[in-house]
Homo-oligomer: A and B are copies of this chain.
């Protein structure tokens, strides 16, 4: 496939967290899957490469969903009437149990991927279920789409229903190692395995110990959940006496960043010490505003994390969240930050549109290396947006058109999508 070409259109991306770079009727150059920059005129050296002219459409970097549960997709939005632990037992665990059947899994994962492909998302970090076979099937299906992904076979060996519980820590670790080897043998181009202890309440110390060995043996990144809900945090405190805070329960097994990258989803109620440790270990925060609202968990103090220099991206957390749209996550992140500012007297200024767009592109993308920007050297992820359906009688700037698309568009407005230089839509 030809991975050297140029796109023409109204190009906009985050120059910094506070400012967009805009090039109207500009040229965006991709060379062998890597972005070579944005130009008002096509540079001499690229004359003759194939060009696709997207006219008056907008071209933006691809968005990253840093935290999603693919198997929960098809029951999204149903039964959002309880808090985390109750919801897991009533909805998430029963649905995930069905993924013991790889045929059911394939049916459900195809629905997830059909919608994901049509979205503005180019990269995802997703949980599977504890079932290695079904999770591997998800990876094979993802590989075909061209979407870049980290996928985790879930580990869980305690405090779960009998239909969704691994029989022992040893068995969980053995299944996980076999799955990792299978992934490595398969030589995926787009998909990578990620270690996925579900969360501390579901993982025995023994299991965490064994995962810690696997992490080092295969040099894998880690994803899990952190400080989402007050009742959960209290439970972790009881389960892990002697830990200073929730994150400590991962850190004592080397599963909290440091040597290898780690994503911790939610981080709604982190005490100061936990924030310090996240900073020290380079932990990525997956901010999931829609889910944190739907499960009444609260609002993560993102501005505070930004001020501390933490790494942050956005996550849909389907099915705590109910949509895969990362545009919607930008809106929800802004909306939540406004309510936190209003309702919590100590809270700093709300998040701006510029800041949240940065988090959804560069912020999450950086977990994949260089992704989410059109600066030279970044992997070429681009989404072409058509806003002609959003009629208006007054003029708008390119930035205002982007704002309208983020708040108002749906999959009909996604005209094309490129990932690492490959046109996938």
Contact = CB atoms under 8 A, between A and B. Distances in A.
Contacts of A104: 393
Stoichiometry (number of copies): 2
Interface in A279-332: 290, 293-299, 322-323
A290 B407 CA distance: 12
Interface in A385-425: 391-394, 396, 400, 403-404, 406-408, 410
Most chain B beta carbons < 10 A, residue from A297, A322, A393: A393
A285 B405 CA distance: 31
Given A78-B403, A81-B353, A339-B336, A95 B293 contact: no
B339 A74 contact: no
Given A81-B353, A104-B393, A394-B95, A408 B76 contact: yes
A77 B407 CA distance: 6
A225 B296 CA distance: 29
Given A393-B111, A410-B410, A342 B77 contact: no
Nearest to A393: B107
A343 interface: yes
A75 B343 CA distance: 27
Contact of A299 (B290, B295, B339, B396): B339
Contacts of A298: 339, 342-343
A344 interface: yes
Contact of A391 (B74, B290, B323, B342): B74
A338 B293 contact: yes
A335 interface: yes
Contacts of A343: 298-299, 339-340, 343-344
B293 A335 contact: yes
Given A78-B400, A298-B339, 14 more contacts: A77-B404, A77-B407, A77-B408, A78-B403, A78-B404, A79-B403, A107-B393, A108-B393, A295-B338, A298-B343, A299-B343, A323-B407, A339-B339, A340-B343
